[in-house]
Structure 1
Amino acid sequence: MKHWTEGFEDDDADEPLVRPYTITGGRTAPERDDLTLITLVTTMPAVSPGSGRGLKRMQPEHRAILTLCERPLAVAEVAAALNLPVSVTKILIGDLIESGQLLSRPPLAFTQAGGIPEMAILEAVRDGLRRL
């Protein structure tokens, strides 16, 4: 019988094999449903990555998110920077929002009534595409 680790190459020794559920403490789905791919997240003023305020056990990924989000980033950008699945990233971002270390908001273009983008933005996109 073949062992499950057979066939793994040691060429990727620089990348540790850590399962996403280990990073999230066993959670498989985000508790927040307001985090989309384009939701912007940013650190709260006066929060440093090492403060750990409100989180019992801060993972290295939590600290990385706080460092990345010193300027507003979309959830998808954070996931890409961390090289993690979006679902795992949403769980970690939710932890930081709950502990008061991150703020989230929809992108400015979608804050109009009903979530409809402003006409000026749509026209700018149209004009930009025409110039291509």
Structure 2
Amino acid sequence: MTAPRPERRAAPEVRPYVITGGRTRAEGDDVRLDTLVQADGSAHPALTSEQRAVLAGLAGTYLTVAEVAARIDVPLGVARILVADLVRAGAVRVHDPAVPGLDAAAATDQEQRYLILDVLESVYDGISAL
């Protein structure tokens, strides 16, 4: 007897490169995955459906860019570009989490590796707690 197969997700309606206009990097703003994002609460009529989905997911709360990606079911790179576009449009505010004792601009590669490991460990701990 074979084990039941996990359900497969349906293919996305739109390919990620269409959502970002073929861009692989955000223009001007370097938005990190652990950056906190908050909607500004005002109306912005000239947004794409994906950008409106980001704002709907942010209603009344802060989310990291990684959480935004999970909520609207897009790859992390796409979420970074969407959030950066929303920042430029003035639709969201971003707050970089402070790392005590570490100046991100002056951090060495080794310090950045430790920071990434700390973030991954906290994500793992959060998932394990579920």
Q: Is this a same-fold pair by TM over 0.5?
A: yes
Place the TM-score, normalised by the shorter chain, in its bin. 0.5 to 0.7
What TM-score do you get using the length of structure 1 for normalisation? 0.62
CA RMSD of aligned residues (A): 3.1
Unaligned runs of 5+ in 2: 1-6, 108-117, 119-124, 126-130
Q: Secondary structure at the match of 2:21?
A: coil
Is residue 2:13 matched to residue 1:27? no
Residue in structure 2 matched with residue 52 of structure 1 by the alignment: 44
Is residue 2:82 matched to residue 1:86? no
The one of 71, 80, 87 equivalent to 1:97 is: 87
Is residue 2:57 matched to residue 1:68? yes
Structure 2 CA distance for partners of 1:34 and 1:26, relative to 1, 3 Å: closer
* 1:15 CA displacement: 4.7
Q: CA–CA distance in 2 between the matches of 1:26 and 1:68?
A: 24
What TM-score do you get using the length of structure 2 for normalisation? 0.63
Q: CA–CA distance in 1 between the matches of 2:27 and 2:58?
A: 20
Structure 2 CA distance for partners of 1:39 and 1:25, relative to 1, 3 Å: same
Equivalent runs, 1:13-24 vs 2, <5 Å: 15-24=11-20
Structure 2 CA distance for partners of 1:13 and 1:36, relative to 1, 3 Å: closer
Structure ID, larger Rg: 1
For these two proteins, the number of residue pairs brought into alignment is 101
